[in-house]
Amino acid sequence: MGHAVPIATKEVKPVKALVYLGPKEKAPALQERPKPGVTAPTDAIVKMTLTTICDTDLHILKGDVATCEPGRILGHEGVGVIEEVGAAVTTFKPGDRVLISCITACGKCVYCRKLMYSHCVNGGWILGNTIDGTQAEFVRVPYAETSLYPIPAGADEEALVMLSDILPTGFECGVLNGKVQPGSSVAIVGSGPIGLAALLTAQFYSPAEIIMIDLDDNRLEVAKRFGATAAVNSGDGKAVAKVMTMTGGRGVDTAIEAVGVPATFELCQQLVAPGGVIANIGVHGTKVDLHLESLWDRNITITTRLVDTVSTPMLLKSLGSKKFDPKLLITHRFKLDRILDAYDTFRHAAKTKALKVIIEA
């Protein structure tokens, strides 16, 4: 009786990935994980080139996002190169350079047909939330044909990382939901990356005033360089009075909340003019009071939204024609080996003057 000949198996090398350990831990951990593979015919495996950190990642670390469980690889933004595709993927092939959308869309469900990709019954915001994300050497992207975008030849890939999430988020949840119009007045509460993304894209519609409000003078100076007509430090408690003086006592047509804490949403309620819009962008982990005793008769619209990324093709074209420069948002760069330093830098932005950090995988 002969000896069995062992079948050679292809060794799967582990890959580096940033892993969420739970809200009681002070920081995530850089670990080795199995390299992801195709598990459905609509998948693509992308070798990450560049990724970044989002304020939403910090909300996860604080325990504000219950759907993200310990052990999850974080991250939902970035660009990379396709290494492998499932059998149903025909519009992409290995070697293609792609932009990864923060929202995964099947393209077929009832919400996708309404262009509400964020509520896709098979996807939505799942990367770095309910499935492993992009802060790793490789990532599996479900529904690749409707969740990836080809990178145009000659495009600046660092700038493109800003189109994974913050640019469409600021634009859709802030500018579009806020109904920014030519000649209107806008207040953006929060001059962090999302607020600045709203500032950059609000200028597509030529509002007369864009007033940025924040506690950080450095970020307010950045906002003025980015096109804000006025900057208000709210630390003295006089932000409402200052904005009312600027607007002749009327308030603003659009108040955009771009932080995600009760104080900033309450400030928006005080700033908005009769007939105006409060557009919420921030991720709120605690309850916020709605002052209907003051707003019930003021014809106010309040909007909420998770980014759908329906504007990404338009933003790609606008970037290509140099209508705006999202690379202005990048302040720091790190290798993946130093991603914990990147988190520390991003978390302490008041001290480090960080906006968006680029992480090279």
From 303, 321, 346, the end of a domain falls on 303
Same domain, 334 and 346: yes
- The boundaries of the domain holding residue 176 are 168-303
Distance between first and last Cα of the chain: 51
The whole-number pLDDT of residue 1 equals 45
Listed residue (139, 58, 73) closest to 104, CA to CA: 139
Whether 226 and 218 have beta carbons less than 8 Å apart is answered as no
Does any domain span residue 2?
no
Beta partners for 17?
Answer: 31, 136
Same domain, 124 and 80: yes
The whole-number pLDDT of residue 5 equals 47
Same domain, 287 and 227: yes
Same domain, 209 and 273: yes
The whole-number pLDDT of residue 121 equals 98
Same domain, 159 and 242: no
Beta partners for 98?
Answer: 80, 150
Does any domain span residue 130?
yes
Supply the pTM of this predicted model: 0.93
From 288, 303, 318, the end of a domain falls on 303
Whether 202 and 279 have beta carbons less than 8 Å apart is answered as no
Does any domain span residue 7?
no
Does any domain span residue 6?
no
Same domain, 297 and 334: no
Whether 258 and 192 have beta carbons less than 8 Å apart is answered as yes
Same domain, 174 and 273: yes
Query: What is the DSSP annotation of 135-166?
Result: SBSEEEESSHHHHEEEPPTT--HHHHHTTTTH
The whole-number pLDDT of residue 24 equals 80
Tokens of 284: 């709120």
| Amino acid letter for position 165 | D
Q: How many domains does the chain have?
A: 2
* Residue ranges, the chain, pLDDT below 70: 1-12, 26
